[in-house]
Amino acid sequence: MPTPSVARYHPVARALHWVLGLAILGLFAVGLYMTDLPFSPQRLKLYNWHKWAGIVILGLSVLRLLWRWAKRPPALPEAIEAAMPAWQRQAHRLTHLGLYALFFVVPLVGWAYSSAAGFSIVLFGQLPLPDFVPVNPDLAEAIKPWHELSAFALVGLALLHVLGALKHAVIDRDGLLRRML
């Protein structure tokens, strides 16, 4: 079902989409890598970098959400939406809702874990951020798995999002992917 023209997202929305997508995938990879390292200056450096990147992603997520509220994204083209089964439309909506929720949950839970474990975040080594929760080792142990689980959920939904986009590009060939390119 080729579509001659599909309304595109605003360039700011496209930039935030791609920057956040790549940053989240990169940060996830670093997170997987650093947790298996032995205690060393390299591991400490990566943990600090991971925290900084998480805070930057949180800030960009706030910008992205504010932008989305200010500049509504283009609606799915009627022909494409009509051709999608109800379960695909529901998956589309729930995947996007889940992604947006996890854009905030993952870094906030990570910040809470770091604070509870007694490791304050000093952004770029210069700007100390307030602790999100008080130091509490028991709380840190309770929070720790939630950061990992929510990060895996975020990457899982991102993969589902990519697969959906590829389906539209390769199987449906409906031009939907051009909205974000």
173 part of a folded domain:
yes
Residue closest to 115 by CA, chosen among 55, 61, 60:
55
Q: Is 123 a member of any domain?
A: yes
Count of CB atoms situated within 10 Å of the CB of 109? 22
Residue span of the structural domain in which 160 resides: 11-180
Q: Under a CB-based contact definition with an 8 Å cutoff, are residues 73 and 128 in contact?
A: no
Residue 3 lies in a domain: no
In a domain, 33, yes or no: yes
Chain centroid, CA 153 distance in Å: 10
Total domains, the chain: 1
Reading the chain (181 residues) residue by residue, the pLDDT tens digits are: 444 467 888 999 999 999 999 999 999 999 999 999 999 999 999 999 999 999 999 999 999 999 999 999 888 888 888 888 999 999 999 999 999 999 999 999 999 999 999 999 999 989 999 998 999 999 999 999 999 999 999 999 999 999 999 998 899 888 888 888 8
Is residue 93 in a domain? yes
Q: Answer for the pair 111, 121: CB distance below 8 angstroms, yes or no.
A: yes
